[in-house]
Structures are given as C-alpha cells and as structure tokens.
C-alpha cells in the first residue's frame, strides 16, 4: 500500500538541488520567493506539518511549538545554531530537533580569520576611503594597522569552529589561547600549541585579539559583559562570528567609540537584521551581514544534512544530528 509522504514545511528558499530532492522524498512545502514567514503563517504551518525546517530567521518559541499539531515530531533546522528554537518546549512535546554541524565549520573559520585580518589591517576603512574618492596617494604614516604575526589570539569556545580557526591562525603566526567549558584533549592542545585558560577573565586581559566561537545559550548570553570587556587591553580587537547575544553589544559599542578597545569585526548582531546606528557610525569596526557560512558549497552541504536528518527520522532511524537539551 502506498504510504503518504510526510509533510515538510521549509521556511526559506534553499538551494535548488536541495529543494528538488525535498520534493522527491517528501511532500515538501517550499518557500520559493523566500519571503520570511510571519508568526501567524508559522503557527498555521505547524498545525499539520510532520516536519518543520526553519532557519536562524524564524523564532520557534514555546507559543509556536504549543500551536503544533500532533503530527509535528521533528524540527530539522537548516543551520548549526539552535538558539532560535525553544529546545525545552520542543522536548516537552516530544519533538526531536536536529541541526547541521560540521559542514559549515571551514567556511565560518575562514570568515573569522578574514575578519581578524580585516579589522587589524583596516581593510574596510581603506576601501571606504578609496571608493569615496578621498585617497590622495600613498603616505608612509597613513592608515597604519597592526601586525598579526606574533600576536596572541584568545578563542572563546574551542569547538569545531574554534579549532578550525586556530589551525588557520597559526599559519598567520598567531599564538593560540582558549577558554572553553571543558579543556580539549591534550593531543589537540599539543597540535595547536594552545594555552588553556580556565579563567575567561584572565585570558581576556592578556590577549591582542579575541574571537567568539561559542554557541549562544542561556549560559553564554552576554558572556562578554561590560565588566569583562573592560578587562581587555586598549589595543585589543574583538571578532564575533557566533551570535550577537554573546557580547553586550551596547557596552562594546561605547568602548569602541571611546577608544577603549581598538576595533571589532562583527558578522552577527544582537538585534539582527537591525544594526545599532552607533556601530555603523564607527570607523574601527568591520560589519558583515551574517555571512559566516555563506558559500554555495556550504549551503548545499547544510541542505544535504537536513535531508539526511529528515529521511533517517521518517524511516524510523535516529537522525545523525539530534540536538540534546543541555543539562541545566
């Protein structure tokens, strides 16, 4: 007897190859014009969906989860970060959540490295001057940045992306320091010649560059608080390719404006897509619109990961990328 295909609601436009496969495998409801779904549309969509595939731009909170019909058993997120999904509410309803780890590690680490270089060498500033027709020619003392080679990089969060960044940064002559909930395996530390700091405060005070690479969870909200930002040296740079919420963005902005921190490169923002106008007005910042994993290869690989998670689940097998609720 022919079985009906599970209804999969995909909230945003995905690469064509992924959408085609979605249509072949499932009864997929695609969003071909990529208009962000409203809350009302999301609430309506989860009523009869078997699977929801959201992205970072959808807030899947307790209210949306409560509106879900009895068929919704899987939220197969397109993306690694799941801070936009109320995991506890999903778990309470017996809804499994999956994400797409691994496949965006290298691209995001590339972006973090590019942003370290961009902010320290003032690429954005230089480009803005040139494009504005304000460049009057070379000068020995104009637009000087800071050398990367020989400096200390403090990585906050030594997961996959943190480690991939460390590999790159060593190639640029940076020494690697890190703070993480758990110390990484001694072999990895040895390979990266990485120095572990149990105390984030102690590490922050000693670094030339800080890169935020931990996920946003209740435990990491404003991890770089105003108090901790004040521990940074005035010549330090801050780079964030994780989530805006990990840094107290208002405090960071105030300190950048006051010259108490040398510069920042941000791919993510607390109220994205809105960006604090005071940040926009600063010259010593590189601002990128959440492009960390934005490669064609990465997006296709993320989509394939979503397909594998859904197919495994609907076939009755454990999906490979199940997200477990952190112990409180």
| Residues found near ligand 8YV in the complex (CB under 6 A) | 55-56, 78-81, 104, 292-293
Least distance (Å) from ligand 8YV to the CB of residue 294? 7
What does residue 200 show for φ and ψ, rounded to 5 degrees? -60, -40
Closest approach, Cβ 129 to ligand 8YV, in A, equals 30
When the beta carbons of 18 and 255 are compared against ligand 8YV, the nearer one is 18
Nearest to 156 by CA among 116, 204, 101: 204
Q: Are 123 and 68 in contact (CB under 8 A)?
A: no
Smallest gap from residue 78 Cβ to ligand 8YV (A): 5
CB of 265 to ligand 8YV, least distance (A): 16
Going from the C-alpha of 177 to that of each of 158, 166, 297, the distances in angstroms are 10, 9, 30
Which is closer to ligand 8YV, CB of 50 or CB of 58?
58
What angle (nearest 5°) sits at the alpha carbon of residue 56, between those of residues 289 and 257? 40
Give dist(CA 219, CA 97) in Å, integer.
20
Backbone angles phi, psi at 124, to 5 degrees: -65, -45
Which lies closer to ligand 8YV via its Cβ, residue 55 or residue 213?
55
Residue whose C-beta lies closest to ligand 8YV: 79
CA distance 137 to 165: 35
User: How many residues are there in the chain?
Assistant: 328
Going by C-alpha positions, the residue among 16, 54, 15, 19 that lies closest to residue 37 is 54
Q: How far is the CB of 213 from ligand 8YV (least distance, A)?
A: 11
- For residue 191, the minimal CB distance to ligand 8YV (Å) is 26
Identify which of residues 19 and 191 has a Cβ nearer to ligand 8YV in the complex. 19
Nearer to ligand 8YV, 69 or 289 (CB): 289
Query: In terms of C-beta distances under 8 Å and separation of at least 24 residues, what long-range contacts does 283-288 make, across chains too?
Result: 283/125, 283/128, 284/119, 284/125, 284/256, 285/119, 285/124, 285/256, 286/115, 286/118, 286/119, 286/123, 286/124, 287/124, 288/111, 288/115
Q: Which is nearer to ligand 8YV, 253 or 293 (CB)?
A: 293
Minimum separation from the CB atom of position 108 to ligand 8YV (A): 6
Q: Which is nearer to ligand 8YV, 85 or 209 (CB)?
A: 85
């Amino acid at each position: 007897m022919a079985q009906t295909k599970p209804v999969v609601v995909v909230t945003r436009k995905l690469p064509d190859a992924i959408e085609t496969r979605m249509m072949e495998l499932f009864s997929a409801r695609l969003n071909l014009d990529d208009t962000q779904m409203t809350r009302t549309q999301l609430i309506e969509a989860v009523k009869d969906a078997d699977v929801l595939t959201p992205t970072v731009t959808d807030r899947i909170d307790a209210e949306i989860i409560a509106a879900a019909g009895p068929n919704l058993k899987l939220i197969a997120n397109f993306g690694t970060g799941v801070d936009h999904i109320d995991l506890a509410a999903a778990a309470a309803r017996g809804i499994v959540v999956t994400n797409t780890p691994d496949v965006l590690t290298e691209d995001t680490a590339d972006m973090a490295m590019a942003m370290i270089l961009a902010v320290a060498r003032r690429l954005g500033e230089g480009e803005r001057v040139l494009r504005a027709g304000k460049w009057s020619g070379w000068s020995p003392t104009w637009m000087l940045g800071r050398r990367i080679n020989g400096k200390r990089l403090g990585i906050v969060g030594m997961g996959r992306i943190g480690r991939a960044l460390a590999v790159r940064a060593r190639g640029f002559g940076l020494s690697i320091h890190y703070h993480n909930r758990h110390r990484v395996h001694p072999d990895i530390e040895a390979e990266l010649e990485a120095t572990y700091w149990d105390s984030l405060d102690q590490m922050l005070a000693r670094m030339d560059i800080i890169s935020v690479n931990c996920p946003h969870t209740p435990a990491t909200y404003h991890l770089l608080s105003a108090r901790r930002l004040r521990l940074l040296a005035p010549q330090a740079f801050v780079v964030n390719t994780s989530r805006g919420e990990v840094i107290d963005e208002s405090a960071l902005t105030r300190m950048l404006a006051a010259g108490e921190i040398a510069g920042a490169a941000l791919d993510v923002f607390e109220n994205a897509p809105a960006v604090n106008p005071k940040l926009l007005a600063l010259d010593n910042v590189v601002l990128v619109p959440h492009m960390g994993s934005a490669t064609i290869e990465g997006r296709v690989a993320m989509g394939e990961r979503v397909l594998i998670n859904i197919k495994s689940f609907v076939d009755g097998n454990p999906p490979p990328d199940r997200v477990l609720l952190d112990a409180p």
